[in-house]
A and B are shown apart, each in its own frame.
Chain A
């Protein structure tokens, strides 16, 4: 109150005071004495609220923006995704269509080239055509690969399940590459373990595709050494690979070091299971777990490219396509196929040393009680030929264990007993002391060339042996290069050379040619068949149904030759009326494609008719004596087909047929089919 604390902010309140005295005027001056303090609380609170409000506004705004942006992005992405998917589908479809369009005229071109080859040509022309054919075939296989890739991407690739012979497939693939490998001087070899069964059920075409791809790659990138394919059961493979790791690095097929096989299947799940399931025997289940390895001594794959190996269209370097060709899809397709076969694929590769690719696949045991014409045909050819060489003895001279193992495998397939010695000296020993002299002697080329003097001695020794037929001598060689002729004036001529890669057909052909057995053998077997067929068919009454007069005549002629009593019919209707019980027919051969009523339809009707008759006989409505005392009528009906594809075994079985034979008749197949039902049905008829 009152004075000091000067604060002159001009705020002054003057009040008039009236004490009631007219002579004195009083005023009251009121003023602030002190500066008013800042209203901190109010300020802080309000500014705080302001800030908070601002921030919240900011957050809200930002969030809204963000949401809007994300939604926009999402829509955009969905748009793009749809476009990308559509583009992908369109691309695959486009590829497939274009490939189909290309394939047809391509096949036309190849077909024409094939027919051109059959005409009169001189050597230059033949050469040109062959080159054109090679290019054409390469183009077709390229297109097929691209088609496969499209199929895989659209999920339409499926595996078949048929009976096939693994060893025959490998023989085929070997033939494919034998020329190339011989040209390059690379030794090509295939070994299939004895434990792998003869017949498997799976997709042979796709399996062949994988092997062809791996072998093709190996051969492409290998200039020296070897390409070695092995097939084992998973169960035995582990032990074998451990043994391999122990052996020195030059005990491989060609002596050159290779990438470690064990490493190539290091990550396989199939192996880790081993520890938990020691009783992993596939004899209990029907499964056959195979492990296949393709080992080469080529350039190898550079380390930085190894992770991309299975990516489609990826190749190691841009120059690869130029120098070697190919699109780089092969491995990715192979991996897909391996996965479809419930297997795994892996590799180990060391640059400048080589690569080893390994894959597993699961098949089941094959038991063909239904016909598989092509493989049976090959098998029968092999079987009938291997009868020739069965029980023969052979001597193999080869210092390298792995290579010898392969040769032994192939020779044993023909039924020949083989003894292996490491060099010619031991060979002398063997023929001298053994009381069983070999019929055939196989010598590795490098052994022969190493010491020609010793070789001549050996040859003379063979000639001087005391036996009826001198053992035949063959050299096994992996290149075409001419054998060093012995120019020292001795009169030894070079023995016959068998070019590797060894395969069953090649071996038998070479052996037959030089031993002169072949033709006689075929005759013997052929005559055997004819005799057996005569026994089966003599006096039997057979109905042949075909709308084609020429086919009828030929079929009738063939059956008559075996002594059958043949009746011909041209239409399905005729066949049905002829086969109405009671009849005297022992069997019927029925063509499938006929006008009015095809073979399947006719057979179905015949079976229906037979079952109705059988029923009526069984319930006594018809007397069994009136039906030649037969109460279950079932005449064996075999389909005659020119198109194996047309007469799938299921179709035939479905409508009641008992089997099928091809047109025109083939003695082996005819015998097999007829003998199958002959002991059941034919016996019924007195």
Chain B
């Protein structure tokens, strides 16, 4: 059971660092709480839907910004969607970037928008990476026979 202990410690350190650095917020903890025996894969399911949905949104965003005449309302709509889904999942930094992005949309500032699109994309891939690592750690713990520690 050494391995389980080690893995658990790794997990706790990692997730705490994610909270500390603002990648995830309390909403992620709420999601973990919603997972139970009747719903054992809840977090993984939500996170996968989030990844899929976000890739699509990012593509839509990129193409709408590259148009000759940019429809800022449409862009704003996509960013609003992204903000909503990232906040439902607890991806705090993505959400914050979306909030700032929306300001530029309101002012129809194309330069700001393209800059922020890149920022949002960056943040998304960062948090995707982190979440994948986190979920992988969880899998490893479960496979080694342990339980995933719950952070408050």
Contacts and interface: CB of A to CB of B under 8 A. Distances in A.
B53 A663 contact: no
B102 to A, nearest CB: 10
Nearest to A593: B80
Interface residues of B, number: 34
A551 B31 CA distance: 12
Contacts of B84: 548, 550-551, 642, 663
Contacts of A557: 31, 34, 39, 42, 46
A111 B30 CA distance: 27
A436 interface: no
A664 B21 CA distance: 21
B87 interface: yes
A118 B21 contact: yes
A549 B88 contact: no
Contacts of A555: 88
B22 A664 contact: no
Given A553-B49, A642-B87, A561 B34 contact: yes
B22 A554 contact: no
Contact of A549 (B30, B42, B53, B107): B53
Residue among B36, B87, B93, B152 with the highest chain A CB neighbour number at 10 A = B87
Contacts of B87: 642, 663-664
A488 interface: no
Interface in B95-134: 96-97, 100, 103, 107, 112
A107 B89 contact: no
B36 A549 contact: no
A553 B46 contact: yes
Interface string A578-620: 0000000000000001010000000000000000000000000
Contact of B49 (A550, A560, A593): A550
B100 A663 contact: no
Contacts of A120: 21
A402 interface: no
Contacts of A665: 30
A550 B57 CA distance: 12
Nearest to A640: B84
A551 B34 contact: no
A520 to B, nearest CB: 11
Contacts of B34: 554, 557-558, 560-561
Nearest to A667: B30
A118 B22 contact: yes
Contacts of B42: 557
Given A107-B103, A550-B49, A553-B49, A561 B21 contact: no
A550 B49 CA distance: 6
Main secondary structure of the interface of A (DSSP, over half): helix
A593 B50 CA distance: 18
Interface size class of A (residues with CB under 8 A): 20 to 34
Interface in A237-269: none
B93 A118 contact: yes
6 contacts: A548-B53, A548-B81, A548-B84, A550-B89, A551-B88, A553-B49
A550 B97 CA distance: 18
A560 B21 contact: no
Contacts of A107: 103
A104 B109 CA distance: 11
A133 to B, nearest CB: 16
Nearest to A595: B77
B49 A549 contact: yes
Given A550-B50, A550-B85, A104 B93 contact: no
Given A548-B53, A642-B83, A560 B39 contact: yes
Interface string B5-35: 0000000000000000110000100110110
Interface in B58-88: 77, 80-81, 83-85, 87-88
Main secondary structure of the interface of B (DSSP, over half): helix
B55 interface: no
Interface string A535-559: 0000000000001111101110110
A548 B81 CA distance: 7
B53 A550 contact: yes
A664 B27 contact: yes
B20 to A, nearest CB: 9
A111 B100 CA distance: 8
Nearest to B22: A118
Contacts of B93: 115, 118
Contact of A519 (B27, B31, B83, B152): B152
A642 B87 CA distance: 9
A557 B22 CA distance: 24
Nearest to A118: B22
Given A108-B103, A118-B22, A553-B46, 16 more contacts: A108-B112, A115-B97, A119-B21, A120-B21, A519-B152, A548-B81, A549-B53, A550-B49, A550-B50, A550-B53, A550-B88, A554-B31, A557-B39, A642-B83, A663-B88, A665-B30
Contacts of B83: 642
Nearest to A558: B34
Contacts of B49: 549-550, 553
Contacts of A550: 46, 49-50, 53, 84-85, 88-89
Contacts of B96: 115
A547 B88 CA distance: 13
Contacts of A549: 49, 52-53, 85
Interface string A97-123: 000000010011001000100111000
Nearest to A555: B88
Contacts of A561: 33-34, 36, 39
A295 B88 CA distance: 47
Nearest to B152: A519
Nearest to A115: B96
A665 B36 CA distance: 18
A561 B43 CA distance: 13
Contacts of B77: 593, 595
A-B pairs, 5 with minimum CB distance: A550-B85, A554-B88, A557-B34, A118-B22, A550-B50
A555 B85 CA distance: 11
A550 B93 CA distance: 17
A683 B80 CA distance: 37
Contacts of B39: 557, 560-561
Contacts of A558: 30, 34
Interface string A552-576: 0111011011000000000000000
Given A118-B22, A118-B93, A553 B81 contact: no
